[in-house]
Structure 1
Amino acid sequence: MSDPAIQDRAAGAIMGAFIGDALGLGPHWYYDLAALRRDYGDWITTYADPKPGRYHSGLKAGQLSQNGVILRLMLRSLIERGSYDEADFCRRMDEEIFPSLNGMPVNGPGGYTQQSIRDAWRKRVQQNLPWGQTGGQADTTEAIARTLALAVRYAFQPQELAAAISSNTRLTQIDDTVVTLTVAYGAVLGLLVQGHKLNRSLSGKLLRLAKAGKLPFHTMAHTDLQPPQEDHPREGGHFVSPDALLTPSYVAAAAVDPDVRIEPAWKVSIVYGMTCAIYHQLPAAYHLTARFPNDFESAVLQAVNGGGENQARAMLTGALVGAQTGLSGIPPRFLDGLDDGETLQEYAMNLALKVDASTTGGES
């Protein structure tokens, strides 16, 4: 059983993700920033209705997108089964999500269905393929949106964390780079739930876990980045490079470097990329988390006001910063404004109770 501080951080990560998702529902996917400001004013501060004819049209402020709906499904599975049960998760997708889809983008729970979920639906429903043959090549953060719950559940069990996230990701996304980056994000979130901060030293902690065989990333016997005196073999792991574990601290160092300034902070979307691609989204989320480690509101609002794929940016940032501030550090207005927020908090706290700090494998 985890202690209260760990429970607070674990629940903060889950609620931070839900809040980020809901904040992006209205102003989602405005790549024209002038149009975003025209429709929502100079600064978005809270939940907002989607405009007619846009993504998620017909939904109301504070509701979840389909990413949030599937995250909620994952939470229910984890809570009721006690641990990750892939067959149970897949059954829930078959029974609760896929019957509401028709293969079109603007359809289904949450108002919009991501490409990877549409592809999985076609393979599963139209082609009657088994789970495990349903993944596609989409390069988005779609899998992170649900597997972040696995990162929280297994925060102190990095081997289980990596195995569960990798397996679940491949249900909808099979590109090796996407899987690698998704597992790396989960490993980062796990350390934050433990109580570490996303700073310039975090990547070193991740690399130590990899060298100890607790994260499935190849490492080199020489890690000082100096020219090798001999040809050292790669050590351990499925993923061919540890670079995805290095990125968080590189970004974090830049975020606090007085000579490297992104002002205002929402312009991370312009610097790192406004699109849906995972390699654009993760640096922006890492940057905002490192820059606002104790300020949940600033982090998620800067993520939302950057436009583009701001919903994923806010969801990923919300989980990371929420893990640093804890549920207790999230302003009540964000919790109060969530649709069915009490139930979501109950799920978050129930999962937090299952985070076991007594297991070996965490980073001390």
Structure 2
Amino acid sequence: MTTHKKAAVVGAFVADALSLGVHWVYNTGVIDKKFGRVEGYHDPLTSYHKGKQAGDFTHYGDQMLVLLKSLDSGSPFDGLRFAGQWRDFFSGYGGYFDQATKATLENMDAGKSLTESGSDSDDLAGAARMAPLVSIFADNLDQLVQSACRQTAITHRDERVIQSAEFFARSVFAVLGGTPPITAMEATLETHFSDSAIASMVAMGLESRDRNTRNTIADFGQMCSVEAGLPGAIHLIARHADDFKTAMVENVMAGGDSSARGMIAGMMLGAAHGMAAIPDPWISGMTAGERIKGLLDSLE
């Protein structure tokens, strides 16, 4: 597996792990006071992730790991298998259940098809967990786009969230082909999304590249919704296009739903710069680090 393809996946995982300590802390003054500049893993400050420890994932990263485990090299994406494993995972889960998860599980339990039970949530998180798909579809744009959209819809059926998944699938494919991240996103917007429901959000993110990250994300909104998270994620990629570590740290320091924003930015910037750009302590400090390495090795 090439270093850039692997880094797209690992980059998303370390972004989530780095976010855990201050995930859903919206008061950035609290982040400053409790942690200073967050450049390593911490136990979670909020009760949302009670029982988690430094190096663990949020419930977003946990679902991304389920997606990675569901993949089979050389085969199309099996949405039914992922949906079944996702449901089984939550049957004994001790972590946080967000509204999208609750609604999807309720639909599954009510007898709806596992692949047609997605919630109407507009949270960006459904698209943000797509990075593992790069490990097997980095050379097949159609499969990458289709699988990114399908895995998203299993839990998040809001059209803007699904469009976000397609946008980043097309963009990361271009980045893996050697196109710089900003150029890739600009081209994807122009050629496929200029008249879409997410066009203005993408443009906002791109246009903010020269602004301070904390202030910009505060203006966009620190929330989970696609309206806030999508331009925030694009800002991170565009503002810090040449610096994976700074992008990840600035994301966390901006507060709120740093996990979803970070997973996308980590995927895109990992794809751009390869494994050498990801700090070694972030890789070795992940609780599931060896498990992820083994899964990626098995997909080669």
> TM-score under structure 2 normalisation?
0.90
After TM superposition, give the deviation of residue 34 of structure 1 in Å: 2.2
Unaligned stretches of 5+ in structure 1?
Answer: 101-107, 211-216, 220-240, 256-260, 354-364
Which 4+ stretches in 1 moved above 6 angstroms? none
1:22 aligns with 2:17: yes
RMSD, aligned α-carbons: 2.4
Q: Which residue of 2 is the match for residue 337 of structure 1?
A: 285
> TM-score under structure 1 normalisation?
0.75
1:246-265 paired onto structure 2 within 5 Å:
248=202, 251-252=205-206, 254-255=208-209, 261-263=210-212, 265=213
Residues 154 and 23 of structure 1: CA distance in aligned 2, closer, same or farther (over 3 Å):
same
CA contact (8 A) 2:104 2:155 kept: yes
1:56 aligns with 2:18: no
1:319 aligns with 2:267: yes
1:117 aligns with 2:101: yes
Which of 62, 65, 89 aligns to 1:69? It is 62
Distance 1:251 1:142 in 2: 17
1:8 aligns with 2:16: no
After TM superposition, give the deviation of residue 321 of structure 1 in Å: 1.2
Distance 1:156 1:43 in 2: 38
CA contact (8 A) 1:200 1:252 kept: no
Residues 75 and 176 of structure 1: CA distance in aligned 2, closer, same or farther (over 3 Å):
same
For 1:252, give the aligned amino acid: L
Residues 322 and 249 of structure 1: CA distance in aligned 2, closer, same or farther (over 3 Å):
farther
Residues 134 and 17 of structure 1: CA distance in aligned 2, closer, same or farther (over 3 Å):
same
Q: Judging by fraction of residues, say which structure has more helix.
A: 2
Distance 1:82 1:173 in 2: 24
1:197 aligns with 2:180: yes
Q: Which residue of 1 is the match for residue 240 of structure 2?
A: 292
Deviations along 1:274-327, whole A, 9 cap, x unmatched? 111112112222122122223111010000010111122222221111111111
Distance 1:69 1:280 in 2: 22
CA contact (8 A) 1:198 1:252 kept: no
Unaligned stretches of 5+ in structure 2?
Answer: none
Q: Which residue of 2 is the match for residue 35 of structure 1?
A: 30
State the number of aligned residues: 300
**Secondary structure in 2 aligned to 1:49?**
coil
Residues 179 and 170 of structure 1: CA distance in aligned 2, closer, same or farther (over 3 Å):
same
**Secondary structure in 1 aligned to 2:60?**
helix
CA contact (8 A) 1:68 1:145 kept: no
CA contact (8 A) 1:116 1:142 kept: no
Distance 1:280 1:249 in 2: 13
For 2:232, give the aligned amino acid: A
Q: Which moved more, 1:272-281 or 1:28-37?
A: 28-37
Q: Which residue of 2 is the match for residue 159 of structure 1?
A: 142
For 1:284, give the aligned amino acid: G
After TM superposition, give the deviation of residue 86 of structure 1 in Å: 1.4
CA contact (8 A) 1:141 1:281 kept: yes
CA contact (8 A) 2:11 2:267 kept: yes
CA contact (8 A) 1:158 1:187 kept: yes
For 2:96, give the aligned amino acid: Y
For 2:241, give the aligned amino acid: P
After TM superposition, give the deviation of residue 201 of structure 1 in Å: 5.9
For 1:120, give the aligned amino acid: T
1:309 aligns with 2:257: yes
For 1:32, give the aligned amino acid: N
Deviations along 1:236-286, whole A, 9 cap, x unmatched? xxxxx346468657633541xxxxx423x3333213211111121122221
Q: Which residue of 2 is the match for residue 46 of structure 1?
A: 40
Which of 148, 162, 165 aligns to 1:182? It is 165
Residues 119 and 250 of structure 1: CA distance in aligned 2, closer, same or farther (over 3 Å):
closer
Which of 84, 89, 93 aligns to 1:91? It is 84
After TM superposition, give the deviation of residue 346 of structure 1 in Å: 3.0
**Secondary structure in 1 aligned to 2:49?**
coil
Distance 1:28 1:243 in 2: 27
